[in-house]
Structure 1
Amino acid sequence: MSSLLPANATKYERALEKTCARSFSLHVLIDRIRNPYNCPLPTLPWLAYERSVDEWNEAWSDEQKRQVTARAISVHKKKGTCGAVEEALGALGITVRAIQWWETEPKGVPATYDLEVQLPAGYKADEATYQEVERVVNSAKNCRSHLGKISLTPAALTQHPIVSGAVYCGEVVTIYELGRIKAN
């Protein structure tokens, strides 16, 4: 390897030249690294950081992480609008409808809004989901508007309700397996 450094170059400069020569010989496709849909998964958080993704959760699926990263620029262009809130939650597969204070009957408190959130399959309507939606909304909404309430609706009920009952009619009641009740 021929060097372009002068004869009086320091040890540090020569080491830096060798390091740079090795890094330039790496086969890296910039267009692949910069595309959230094609980049290797280990580099995706760095691409998200570069695009100023406001909310990141390691528990999200790979597809959700790629969607959030891909939509980050669009969210930042619309930041402070209902469109930004819809875009930010849409990247997670969540459908949302914002109801502004003037759209309610009677009219609500000025500068407030409520959200009707339709959760996709795989999301539970629990406290963790509520907090995640609230964090994403707060990072995308404008500062002057105040969030009223969030109504979470699961996409489909995955569990049937369990109903049970008991009747007391006598001094001793023995309950056996389903369908076989015997009273003494």
Structure 2
Amino acid sequence: MSDVTALLPDSAGRFEKAMAAGMSDELPVPYADIIDPYRTPPRFLPWLAAHHSVDLWFDDWSPDRKREMIAQCAGVSSLYPASPLGALKGTLQGLKRYLAFVDAEIVDRIAYPARFTFGRAALGRTPLGHRPFVAHYLVKVALKGPANRFQIGRASLGRQALTLIDTEPLRRVKTAMTIAKAAETQYTVTFAWRRGITFQDNLPIDAGHVFGGFIDRARLD
């Protein structure tokens, strides 16, 4: 029988009816929807995140981003089916997926063990002065400057003139990278994904490239 409340006498109270409903085959709760990260009501998202041990989470994320994070940790993501995010910790694939949640991407990386090194000098791919046995990353993440930041030759009054660039995106990237790495590994990260134009770049001086301007970096060295 799907509803055992039919067996209760007319004198049954609220507690007895609730117990009977809990033992019924068909619960009066949309359990299948609640445990589905793509269909659960928004108020259940924090609970479902805790249930699946989500360790990267920001309250100001959009509901869609929160749902996708839960789905990836639960291994039911429509983007990465049968590939739980937690199982990829310590891998490059896992790091890329974690960084995508904080709107960042890897531009370049140097992972040890690398080519032969002698002291601080390195041959081939490893730049001078990089710490050995540490993975080095060049990460691209966008920052937003204040609306009325001070510029030479232009006056700016009011509180906005003293507003600094919001570095919260950098903090979130570092948090994501720390969560994504294996416990025994170390890394360094630089966010200088743009550099000044030099004569060695041999770029045409036009509307797109001017002296004193910047271009994207493609390598750490």
Q: Please report the TM-score for the alignment, with normalisation by the length of structure 2.
A: 0.53
Report matched runs for 1:65-144 at 5 Å. 65-72=66-73, 73=75, 74-97=84-107, 98-101=109-112, 102=114, 103-106=125-128, 108-119=130-141, 124=144, 126-144=166-184
Q: Which amino acid aligns with 1:99?
A: I
Distance 1:149 1:95 in 2: 12
Structure 1 contact 64–92 (Cα < 8 Å) conserved: no
1:26 aligned to 2:48? no
Q: Secondary structure at the match of 2:127?
A: coil
* Percentage of identical aligned residues: 22
Residue 144 of structure 1 deviates from its aligned partner by 2.1
Structure 1 contact 96–118 (Cα < 8 Å) conserved: yes
Quote the RMSD (CA, aligned, Å). Answer: 3.5
1:145 aligned to 2:205? no
Structure 2 unaligned regions, length at least 5? 76-83, 115-124, 145-164, 195-221
Q: Which amino acid aligns with 1:146?
A: Q
Q: Which amino acid aligns with 2:104?
A: I
Q: Secondary structure at the match of 1:26?
A: coil
Deviations along 1:32-78, one digit per CA (max 9) or x if unpaired, are 33332232211122221122111211011222212222222422111
Distance 1:53 1:139 in 2: 10
Tell me which moved more, 78-87 or 96-105.
96-105
Structure 1 unaligned regions, length at least 5? 5-10, 155-184
Q: Which amino acid aligns with 1:68?
A: M
Deviations along 1:75-121, one digit per CA (max 9) or x if unpaired, are 2111122221111112344322443243523483233122222236x
Structure 1 contact 33–43 (Cα < 8 Å) conserved: yes
Q: Which amino acid aligns with 1:79?
A: K
Alignment-derived partner of residue 38 in structure 1: 39
Deviations along 1:1-57, one digit per CA (max 9) or x if unpaired, are 4447xxxxxx9x8476256369x5425150x33332232211122221122111211
Distance 1:117 1:92 in 2: 11
Alignment-derived partner of residue 49 in structure 1: 50
Q: Which amino acid aligns with 1:53?
A: V
Q: Secondary structure at the match of 1:115?
A: strand
